[in-house]
Amino acid sequence: MKTIRFEGIYTLLSPLCHMAPEVQGEEKKDTISRLRVIPFNIQTRIIDGYGVSGAEVRSLLKMLVVNYTLEKLGLTSNDLPNEVAVMLYSGGTADKGATIPAYEIKNKIQKEVPLIGLFGGVINGCFFSSTLRCDFALMLSKESSELYNNLLAKRDFPIDDLISADYFKPEMYRYGHARHRKPEIAHLDVKNINSIQVPYHIEAIPTGTKLLHGFSLIDPSEGDEACFEAGLKLLLDYGFLGGRSAAGYGRVSAEYFECPHYDPFIPSTEKYDNWLMKNGENMKAVLLELTQTIKSKADVEAPKACKWLVKNKAEIERLVDGTDSEEDRKKLFKSTYIGDLKKFEKVIKAHRDTVLKAVNTDCSSEELFETLDDSQSKELAQFHSEIIAAVKSKNGAKKKKQGA
């Protein structure tokens, strides 16, 4: 298996703030936005270092190269199916799928679309692995230097004078200095015309600090390598990391080196541009048709639901309006016993309007499916699967046994 490794050194040209994630259920006791702390193990103890999470670096690189690729393909995110756009920009949503493709098809998609090969993602329940691994960007200190000792040694970096992470104190920036609202906007909020803004503080890593970072590519395709190099070029040209970049924070310069010889790596978009010239049209077609290649559960189940509704119109109409008989249930479910009556009634109530509209449409099941929009298709498929599940549920039987 082929592995390519790049390690780099960032220099802060302005203070960097990357806030610590909020802990759910933990009340914030002050007005200070704290820096992200990244623990790491050195010899016999755990060090709390500052830096930028791998997810932040990766998501920024991803956004830049996705935008670049779509522009080269003559597309915008609005041209793509919604599920595809969500996967490219944010990784996708893990909905249940119904048609997971064979390994060969998944592998082909990843090779034809480096954005998927490099970053992975999920669409309609189908997960794609990624070839890119992104390290945390750690503040350079006496302790963190041990994690990148080969890089620093090869580059003759002076490490003897580095400070310990134990002695590092972040800079503190104060905002909202008890300022009254500006007179020109005071009329917009008459009730609070004399209100005072609560002061708050932001921790930041000071200008001039260096960060250590690394990328790894695990068994990448030719397209993945070209896409990554273009993305790294865009990232370095962008020149910012962390939050509040619009206010001037997080401006950086960086240099990467290719392992194991640690020669300077000067990224370029040229290889990716050439790859797109040869394979761009095919990649574009795959992206536009991806939701047809990997169908959602609703795409598969909705035609079945439509066929069931059209075949049993009268019985389903009586079911949802509460006038059904035992014979109706026997025809619909091959049984008069409802395993989970509470869920059964809840499903009917939740989908009554859409189901009634469907059964009152005078057409074939194929025509009904064609007239439905995506949300209606999904709802009918959901109604069909949930009502059957409620009938077949064993919850009711368990409760009877417990009460006996």
What's the Cα-to-Cα distance from 127 to each of 123, 176, 240, 306, rounded to whole Å? 7, 45, 31, 28
Helix, strand or coil, per DSSP, at residue 206? coil
* Separation of alpha carbons 257 and 157, rounded Å: 14
- Select from 146, 162, 114 the least CA-distant residue to 43: 146
- Contact by Cβ (8 Å): 388, 312: no
User: Domain-by-domain residue ranges, the chain?
Assistant: 3-137+206-293, 297-403
- Alpha carbons 218 and 129: distance in angstroms, whole number: 11
pLDDT of residue 134: 95
What was the pLDDT predicted at 177?
47
- Residue 191: is its pLDDT beyond 60? no
> Is 403 a residue whose pLDDT tops 50?
no
What would the pLDDT profile of 75-118 be if each residue is shown by its tens digit? 999 999 888 999 999 888 776 555 566 678 888 999 999 999 99
Is residue 345 scored above 70 in pLDDT?
A: yes
- Please compute the mean of the pLDDT values over residues 354-369 and round it to a whole number: 84
Looking at residue 194, its pLDDT comes to 53
Instruction: Please list, in sequence order, all residues whose beta carbon lies within 8 angstroms of the beta carbon of residue 344, skipping any fewer than 6 positions away.
Output: 338, 387, 390, 391
Q: What is the pTM of this model?
A: 0.72
pLDDT mean across residues, the chain? 83
